[in-house]
Amino acid sequence: MSGGDKLDFEIRPNPAPVSAADRAALLANPGFGRVFTDHMVTIRYAEGKGWYDARVEARAPIPMDPASAVLHYAQEIFEGLKAYRTADGAVTMFRPEANAARFVASARRLAMPELPEETFVESLRRIVEIDREWIPEGPDASLYLRPFMFASEVFLGVRPANEYLYCVIASPAGAYFAGGVKPVTVWVSPDYTRAAPGGTGAAKCGGNYAASLAAQAEAIEAGCDQVVFLDAVERRFVDELGGMNVFFVYEDNTLVTPPLTGTILPGITRDAVLSLAAASGHRVEERPVSFADWQADAASGRLREVFACGTAAVITPIGRVRFPDGEFLIGGGEPGRSTMALREQLVAIQRGEAEDPHGWVRRVC
């Protein structure tokens, strides 16, 4: 197969798929990120050849040489999005083109080849089509899609690799919040930062998440669910959580989120929330929010709600904030009205149960 922008996918069905009975048992309670479908997508890249050998094949371990570049120099990026089963039996995805564009931006920042956006979207369609029976039923169920790419060239040397492997795997996911949405407690890290200006904060690469794990462990030790990072320069302004963007809702109906200055991941859900909030009557602002102002505005009652957003949980209310010198509540620690309204609206659009004025939902099959 030649390496051009238009790739034909070779379909190699899994010769030993999971039985229907075993699949049903797994889908009864899949959790998140622990159960995987029968197939995966792979596409290879070589310098001078381009993208080639696009396949849909049985999910299997990836053979890897100990000198593969990714193991030593961490050239790796990924995405995350969901496919949904609608009430009429169709399967849809939410804004795959936005994920495709962000994947290109991440590749550019990590000095990796850019997968054509149409090929990215087609790879998602292919795995959803062949593994559609793995999409669980239920109001909060979905098929989580994980496209990723890494440097596969066998060499030791600090330079961009000449060979890469792109893959897509899929994992059925149940309700993120068992028993309903509950406010989380967050820890404001006094010592760790997530990203610095000029770094890789705006790219979705594994290194960013690896660097957050020590801070996340600190948060768990403090009895919290997630860590909040402050900016790396002044240690004053809120950046984002370990894996989610953050929003503040004030008494005058203003919704504020930190601006995208290169240190914050441009979340697909974040962008959707900004559009929905503006359409529902919120005044929307992208501006810095200091931790001191967060604490003072919560104490005065001016700040009514805070929530985080991302692909996995969609929108998560934040009820309590802890830091080394104390803690404080947001809105009495209960989910806010605006938070829950935005969450319900966004979930309904994603699942094809509400009007989609922005054309975000894509029918797959």
204 catalytic? Reply is yes
Tokens (6 digits) for 118 = 């149409």
Q: What percent of the chain has pLDDT over 90?
A: 91
CA distances from 129 to 132, 142, 204, 231, 242 (A): 5, 14, 26, 42, 32
Domains recognised in the chain with CATH numbers? 10-173 (3.30.470.10), 184-351 (3.20.10.10)
Task: Report the pLDDT value the prediction gives residue 175, as an integer from 0 to 100.
Answer: 78
- Name the nearest CA neighbour of 152 among 78, 80, 48, 63: 63
pLDDT of residue 1: 36
Q: Is residue 297's pLDDT more than 70?
A: yes
**Residues 267, 177: Cα–Cα separation, whole Å:** 20
Q: Is the pLDDT of residue 193 over 80?
A: yes
Q: Residue range 286-307: average pLDDT?
A: 98
Main-chain dihedrals φ then ψ at residue 128, nearest 5 degrees: -65, -40
* Per-residue pLDDT at 180: 75
Q: What is the mean predicted confidence (pLDDT) over 144-162?
A: 97
Q: What is the rounded CA–CA span in Å between residue 323 and residue 222?
A: 9
- What's the mean pLDDT when you consider all of the chain? 95
Catalytic residue (one of 6, 49, 182, 204): 204
Average pLDDT over residues 276-292: 97
Give the C-alpha separation, 333 to 321, whole Å. 10
Q: What is the pLDDT of residue 179?
A: 65
Query: What is the pLDDT confidence band of residue 3, given thresholds at 50, 70 and 90?
Result: very low
Using 50, 70 and 90 to split pLDDT, how confident is the model at 358?
Answer: very high
User: Does the pLDDT at position 2 exceed 50?
Assistant: no
**Average pLDDT over every residue of 185-205:** 96
pTM: 0.96
* Nearest-angstrom CA–CA distance, 173 and 351: 14
Is 60 exceeded by the pLDDT of residue 4?
no
Q: What is the pLDDT of residues 310-343, one digit of tens each?
A: 999 899 999 999 999 999 999 988 889 999 999 9
Task: State mean pLDDT over 183-205.
Answer: 96
**What confidence score (pLDDT) does residue 259 get?**
97
Render pLDDT for 213-255 as a digit per residue (tens, 0 to 9): 999 999 999 999 999 999 999 999 999 999 899 999 999 999 9
Tokens of 68: 């593969």
C-alpha span between 267 and 259 (Å, rounded): 12
What average pLDDT does the segment 299-316 reach? 96
* R_g of the chain computed on alpha carbons: 21
Share of the chain above pLDDT 70, in %: 98
pLDDT of residue 87: 87
Closest CA to 300 of 323, 330, 322, 326: 330
